[in-house]
Amino acid sequence: MSASQRLTNLWSLMKGWAKYALNKYRNLHLFGKIFIWLVVLFYIFGGAFIVIATPARIAQYTYDKAEDLAALKYGWLILGCAIVIISFPPLVGHTTLSTLAGFAYGMKGFFISAVASIVGSALAFVVLRLLFKQRLRAWANQNEKWKALESVVRAKGLPLIILIRISPFPPWVYSNSLFASIQPVKLWQFVTATCFVLPKILLHTFIGSKIAELSDGEQRGHMDTRTKIIDAGLIVGGILIALFASWTVYNLVQDHIRKLEGFSPEVDALAAEAIEGYDEEAPLLSSNQERGD
């Protein structure tokens, strides 16, 4: 793939995220839009607070609270349940909680995040499919892109499901909704594909554990400059690796689907567009879609 094509794909990914965010905002009710603006104001005032209170003091406070969580007898269960809950749309925060697991529990947090992620995604898959079974059938019968997507998934099976699952778009929680919407996907296939996301969860846990080391003043005080630089480099490197891997996987998935053998180019393109333009409000959650009940 040429450099110009990679830039084009990157621009396409950025537009996809922007379109996704805009569609999500437009589909919100008035109170939902008010909530979004309140969140924006929260981050503005939060940024001002960080400048005033200083990052070091805030980092230390956050670290102390994470230590309190880890000291709780069932702190791991509280964190695990939170990950399960945010696996249901329209909630978000999977990456944040996976990083928090590493922040509070070190690399042991990976086991909490991994198990909770698998359980949460499987529950979301089952619940959404059961609740919206009739609407799902009606949607699939009237949408050409969805017909194309279901036909290629049915034909290619687990390998294609894994590729789509590890793609960063749509995000975690809406990826659960996406697969619940694709009728040929079986629960065991979805759970198997979800296991291939565990390396990304491991990376988030690692980043969280390194941030924790630099957040604690006592640990930071015993570090020499070289160790601090290495830890900071590992954090930045981990974030860059996550971003690069997400971009690369997204391009590979889109390119693979658009060039599947055994299907016409039109079907391949429709299937890719069904994923690329997937809106979390459809087909399972849209209030303006025909229910088919």
Structure tokens at 49: 């607070």
Distance of CA 281 to the CA centre of its chain: 16
Question: Using one digit for the tens of pLDDT, what is the confidence trace for 250-271?
Answer: 777 767 677 666 666 776 676 6
Residue from 132, 197, 140, 201 nearest 164 by CA: 197
Confidence grade of residue 13 (pLDDT, cut at 50, 70, 90): low
Confidence grade of residue 280 (pLDDT, cut at 50, 70, 90): very low
Helix axes 158-166, 172-181, angle to 10 degrees: 150
Question: Using one digit for the tens of pLDDT, what is the confidence trace for 195-239?
Answer: 999 999 999 999 888 888 888 777 777 777 777 788 778 778 877
pLDDT of residue 213: 83
Asked whether the predicted pLDDT for residue 14 surpasses 80, the reply is no
Question: Using one digit for the tens of pLDDT, what is the confidence trace for 126-140?
Answer: 998 888 777 777 766
Q: What is the mean pLDDT of the chain?
A: 78
CA distance 245 to 169: 12
Question: Using one digit for the tens of pLDDT, what is the confidence trace for 42-67?
Answer: 768 766 766 676 666 767 777 888 88
**Higher-scoring residue by pLDDT: 113, 254:** 113
**Mean pLDDT of all residues in 278-287:** 51
Q: Are 270 and 258 in contact (CB under 8 A)?
A: no
Domain boundaries, the chain: 54-276
pLDDT of residue 290: 42
pLDDT of residue 32: 64
CB-facing half-sphere around the CA of 61: CA atoms within 13 A: 7
Geometric angle at alpha carbon 106, from 103 and 108, rounded to 5°:
130
Q: Mean pLDDT: which of 12-21, 36-45, 192-201 is highest?
A: 192-201
Distance of CA 233 to the CA centre of its chain: 24
Asked whether the predicted pLDDT for residue 281 surpasses 50, the reply is no
Residue type for position 194:
T
Question: Using one digit for the tens of pLDDT, what is the confidence trace for 149-184?
Answer: 778 888 888 888 898 888 877 778 888 888 888 888
pLDDT of residue 291: 39
CA distance 13 to 200: 19
Confidence grade of residue 110 (pLDDT, cut at 50, 70, 90): very high
